[in-house]
Amino acid sequence: MKRLSRLWQGFQNLVSTQETGEVMALFRIFTGVIVVWVLASMFTTGIIDIVWVDRIHGGYRALGEGSTLVKWLGGPKPTVIHSLGIVTLVGGALVTLGLGGRLSAFVTLQGYMALHRLDGNASGSSDILVTNGLWLIVLANSTATWSLDCKIRTGRFVSNDKISAFPRYLGILQLIVMYWATGVQKVSVYWFPAGSYSALYYVLQQPTWQRFSMAWAAKFYPLTQIATAVTWLWEFTAPILFVVYWYRYTRERPGRVRAWFNKKDLRLPWIFVGIVLHLMILAAMDVSHFSQMSLAFYVCFWTPDEVVNFLRRAARKNKSAPSPADARENAVSKT
């Protein structure tokens, strides 16, 4: 009973932890930009009328009554879909600018869910990740700083108001669960020694995923084998990152294992592999906006203090660097 009481108290302390809002503001901005980009591309390319409009109105397949919200609005016909798309697009812009707080995020979330659930063949994990991100923005006070809401409230775009750290923790948990589940589901023999670690090579040869012909990858087959092994191991061991964060959160407690984990920043190698992996996917494969949204979640790995300190160092470095005019003047004076 005492153990349960301590666990409950620990959970309460975790949920009640507060921090400034820079990280969730960045996450809000990145997520909003992705929503705007996705929907704007749907409109400009005309794909919106193909995949989200019912066949009787010109779409490529029968969608029935559509998702619940679309059904209430009148079904998947052009006027409904275009109106809902525009509202969601505007909502994404408001989320990016930080205007309307949780309400803008909630409206954008409902519109995005209603649209991408219309056709499972034209949606996937990238859209689910976007909606999960929007849920975090609804949960968090993400417009506390770096937003128009902050400007209206305080007269400045920047505020030191505290918000709950729990949504950021959920963002970290989202990535850990996502990568671990992906690793567990990689049961094909080609991900393992028995299949010569050839999975990524074969994936790169599938026209469905290619941005361009990857026939040249055969010359670098050993590198694709190494990448296959590293990718699976990195995904499958993602729960270790949970341990890393737990020991960082409880660094004041005793214990040799905890002290060893906190001796070095063990987040960095794992984050580095993830960033490289997603950049490679962006360069070679067309998996919609999955990598972009995944990388948006990566800002949750850092505390607001770390983000602010990084920006301050970058600003000082940029300020100390001579301007082109100063550089030319210095060069002339030396001659």
Structural domain boundaries in the chain: 19-164, 165-315
- Res 12 pLDDT > 90: no
pLDDT tens-digit profile of 115-137? 999 998 888 899 999 999 999 99
**What values do phi and psi take at 225, rounded to 5?**
-65, -45
pLDDT band at 231 (very low <50, low <70, confident <90, very high): very high
What was the pLDDT predicted at 9? 79
Helices (H), the chain: 2-16, 22-45, 47-51, 68-73, 78-97, 101-116, 125-139, 148-154, 166-184, 199-204, 221-236, 239-249, 256-263, 267-284, 290-297, 304-320, 324-334
The b-or-e profile of 233-259 (16+ CB within 10 A means b, else e) is ebbbebeebeebbebeeeeeeeeeebe
In angstroms, the CA 143 to CA 78 distance is: 33
Work out whether the CA dihedral 6, 8, 9, 11 comes out positive or negative.
Answer: positive
- Res 259 pLDDT > 90: yes
pLDDT band at 83 (very low <50, low <70, confident <90, very high): very high
- Res 157 pLDDT > 90: yes
In angstroms, the CA 284 to CA 250 distance is: 40
- Res 97 pLDDT > 80: yes
- Res 153 pLDDT > 70: yes
For tokens 């590198």, what's the residue? 223
| C-alpha distances out from residue 325 to 321, 328, 333, Å | 11, 5, 12
- Res 335 pLDDT > 50: no
What was the pLDDT predicted at 328? 41
pLDDT band at 332 (very low <50, low <70, confident <90, very high): very low
Section 161-184 average pLDDT: 96
**Conformational region of residue 203, where left means phi above 0, alpha means psi within -120 to 50, and beta covers everything else:** alpha
Q: Vertex 170, ends 167 and 173: CA angle to 5°? A: 160
In terms of DSSP bridges, do strands 162-164 and 18-20 run parallel, antiparallel, or are they unpaired? antiparallel
Mean pLDDT of the chain: 92
Nearest CA-CA partner of 269 in 249, 227, 297, 241: 241
pLDDT tens-digit profile of 190-199? 999 999 999 9
pLDDT band at 205 (very low <50, low <70, confident <90, very high): very high
pLDDT tens-digit profile of 49-78? 999 999 999 999 999 999 899 999 999 999
Torsion (CA) 116, 117, 122, 126 in degrees, nearest 10: 60
- Res 292 pLDDT > 50: yes
pLDDT tens-digit profile of 14-45? 888 999 999 999 999 999 999 999 999 999 99
**What values do phi and psi take at 242, rounded to 5?**
-60, -40
Q: Find which of 138-147, 209-218, 306-315 is predicted with most confidence, using mean pLDDT.
A: 138-147
pLDDT band at 321 (very low <50, low <70, confident <90, very high): low
What was the pLDDT predicted at 121? 87
Q: Is residue 321 exposed (0-12), middle (13-18) or buried (19+ Cβ within 10 Å)?
A: exposed
Share of the chain above pLDDT 70, in %: 95
pLDDT band at 323 (very low <50, low <70, confident <90, very high): low
- Res 237 pLDDT > 90: yes
Nearest CA-CA partner of 297 in 136, 126, 146, 175: 175
Section 75-87 average pLDDT: 97
Q: Vertex 313, ends 311 and 318: CA angle to 5°? A: 95
Task: Determine the distance from the C-alpha atom of residue 297 to the mean position of all C-alpha atoms in its chain, rounded to a whole number.
Answer: 3
- Res 140 pLDDT > 60: yes
| C-alpha distances out from residue 239 to 46, 153, 169, 285, 291, Å | 41, 40, 14, 26, 20
- Res 333 pLDDT > 70: no
What was the pLDDT predicted at 331? 43
